[in-house]
Structure 1
Amino acid sequence: MMKRFALMMALCLAPSAHAEDVAEVWKAKCKSCHGDDGKAKTKMGQKESIVDMSQPAWQQAQTDADIREMIADGSPRNRKMKPYKDKLSPQQLDALVGYIRTMKAK
């Protein structure tokens, strides 16, 4: 019975821990240019004319694979967006794609 309880607690806590992990990755690797909300209303975002990822048109135009590739391989449009494929795990890359999808403007 105790093992079931421990397993259930671990499963219940996992999504929360995952959400915190991806938020920390965003904060450490992405926030300085893209901002907290993906709108790129930062000094670097405005200097580099970084796209507002919360816009419905951008969200619709980009597939998950497009976003993942941009994170992994860097931006062909902006050389300052370096590749993260050697710095982030495949799971972190996928989590960031999901995180970006939550930034849709209302």
Structure 2
Amino acid sequence: MMKRFALVMTLCLSSSAYADDVAEVWKAKCKSCHGDDGKAQTKMGQKESIADMSLAAWQAAESDADIRQAIAEGSPKNSKMKAFKDKLTPAQIDALVGYIRTLKAK
């Protein structure tokens, strides 16, 4: 019983740490253009006409593979979006894809 409790606590704490990690990566690498909420209502977001990632239509139109590709290789829709494949691990890129999916407007 105690082993199960320890395992559950470890999983909960590591999930929380994982969520904190991806939020920190978002803050460090994405927020300046895409904003906290993915709506791109930032100076650079508006200047570059960056899409609002919180819109249901955007979320439906972009596959996880499309998002992953844009993060890794840069955006084919905006040449100012640089590639992060040399700055982020594949796991961090995957985590960002999941994070972006949470930005969907309610």
| TM over 0.5, shorter chain | yes
RMSD of equivalent CA atoms: 1.4
Q: How far apart are the structure 2 equivalents of 1:17 and 1:67?
A: 23
* Cα deviation code 1:3-60 (max 9, x no counterpart): 6554332112111111000000000000000000000000000000000000110000
User: Structure 1 residue 28 and structure 2 residue 28: aligned?
Assistant: yes
Structure 1 residue runs of 4 or more that deviate by more than 2 Å after TM superposition: 1-9
* 1:37 corresponding residue in structure 2: 37
Q: What secondary structure sits across from 2:82 in the alignment?
A: coil
Letter of the 1:71 partner, please give it: I
* 1:19 corresponding residue in structure 2: 19
User: What are the within-5 Å matches in structure 2 for residues 63-78 of structure 1?
Assistant: 63-78=63-78
Q: How far apart are the structure 1 equivalents of 2:58 and 2:6?
A: 42
Gaps of 5+ in 1: none
TM-score for the superposition, normalised by structure 2: 0.93
Gaps of 5+ in 2: none
**TM-fit CA distance, 1:95:** 0.3
TM-score for the superposition, normalised by structure 1: 0.93
Question: Number of residues paired by the alignment?
Answer: 106
**TM-fit CA distance, 1:78:** 1.2
* 2:51 corresponding residue in structure 1: 51
Q: How far apart are the structure 1 equivalents of 2:5 and 2:77?
A: 50
Q: How far apart are the structure 1 equivalents of 2:72 and 2:27?
A: 17
Q: How far apart are the structure 2 equivalents of 1:99 and 1:56?
A: 15
